[in-house]
Amino acid sequence: MPIVDPRTGEPLSSPQVSPQEASTQPAADAAPLRAEDVIIELDASNIQQVLEASMQVPVLLDCWAPWCEPCKTLMPILEKLAIEYNGAFLLAKLDVEANPEISSQLGVRSVPDVKLVSQGGLVDSFQGALPEKQIREWLARYFPAPEDVPPSPEDQAAEALAAGDAATAREIYQQLVVQYPEHYAYQVALARALVAGGLTEDARSLLDNLPPEEREAPAARGVRASIAFGEQALSHAEIDAMQGRDDSEAQFQRALRQVADGDYEAGLESLLTLMKQDRGYNDDAARKMLLQVFDALGADHPLTVTYRRKLFTMMY
């Protein structure tokens, strides 16, 4: 069924499906649509047509206000996604200040407020200026992801960090922190990049300024652990100098370095192996370090759960 432009009543060029059908039907091959084909300004003159259009193609309703700074961050992302999804949904932008009656009818209480409407009814919604990656994940519940999507900033930062380019990761996360100051996961990720770049005091200061509940969350605790373990661990050069050694001291120091670098699974596995081989090493140092890592990660962390079980099995 073709999309009908709610402004003109004319069919658009790309046949689409509803959210309920999108997960089971492949995306249709179609020429790219223009911004004006998939993005409209919603007001009293066309709201009825938009609701009628939602019977044929889902409508993503972006409720915003001119004075709302988060709205200004969110809107360009939604516009980009609307074009990228090439007609899988229409993006209708509602200025709630200019259209208070419509806003009230839609139950908008704060902005930004994004609603997915299909078949004339509300399917789902989210509030606040979510980061692009989270919006993509939200859309993925209802629409097949478009092809050839460029890596998200989060993915680019993670790849840079994994490649040892802490400076690039730090720059990306700093931009994300500015864009989304209340998305504290970015501040924790920035702290991790700072630690990777040797800027541990900056990382500690950043973590100290998080809200209390975020400071004590597993992700932040993990970065603090990296800082603490990094202060205890030998440098990478010193670890490299141990190449060829397989005694208990060398194994312990390698494990500590892995934990300090944030490679917790490898570090925990190395510590558990050392316990099996030499339980008495340095007054049971491997077991004590395992417990410190568990405490740092938090009791509910998947690695804590897994390796507590392995530790219990080995000991009893």
Question: Tell me: the pLDDT tens digits for 83-135?
Answer: 999 999 999 999 999 999 999 999 999 999 999 999 989 999 999 999 988 99
Is 144 inside a domain boundary?
no
In this prediction, residue 102 carries a pLDDT of 94
pLDDT at 4 over 50: no
* Helix H or strand E segment including 170: helix 166-179
257/305 same-domain check: yes
Q: What CATH number does residue 28 fall under?
A: 3.40.30.10
- pTM score, whole prediction: 0.68
Q: What CATH number does residue 187 fall under?
A: 1.25.40
Query: How would residue 9 be classed by pLDDT, with cut points 50, 70 and 90?
Result: very low
Q: Please tell me the distance from the alpha carbon of residue 312 to that of residue 316, in angstroms, as a whole number.
A: 6
In this prediction, residue 67 carries a pLDDT of 95
Active site residues: 68, 71
| CA within 13 Å, CB half, 9 | 1
Is 9 inside a domain boundary?
yes
DSSP-derived 3-state class of residue 41:
strand
In this prediction, residue 182 carries a pLDDT of 86
Number of domains in the chain: 3
Query: How would residue 32 be classed by pLDDT, with cut points 50, 70 and 90?
Result: low
Lowest-pLDDT range of 6-15, 110-119, 248-257, 279-288: 6-15
Query: How would residue 74 be classed by pLDDT, with cut points 50, 70 and 90?
Result: very high
pLDDT at 164 over 70: yes
Residues 6+ apart with CB under 8 A from 115: 60, 61, 63, 106, 122, 124, 125
30/134 same-domain check: yes
Range of the domain at 134: 2-139
pLDDT at 248 over 90: yes
Query: How would residue 30 be classed by pLDDT, with cut points 50, 70 and 90?
Result: low
Is 225 inside a domain boundary?
no
Is 26 inside a domain boundary?
yes
Q: What CATH number does residue 299 fall under?
A: 1.25.40.10
Which residue stretches of 209-283 are H helix? Answer: 212-215, 218-232, 236-241, 248-260, 264-277
Domain finish residue from 167, 189, 216? 216
In this prediction, residue 18 carries a pLDDT of 43
What percent of the chain stands above pLDDT 90? 64
Query: How would residue 2 be classed by pLDDT, with cut points 50, 70 and 90?
Result: very low
36/58 same-domain check: yes
pLDDT at 63 over 90: yes
Domain finish residue from 114, 139, 164? 139
248/297 same-domain check: yes
117/180 same-domain check: no
Domain finish residue from 75, 110, 139? 139
**Cα Rg for the chain, rounded, in angstroms?**
26
pLDDT at 142 over 50: yes
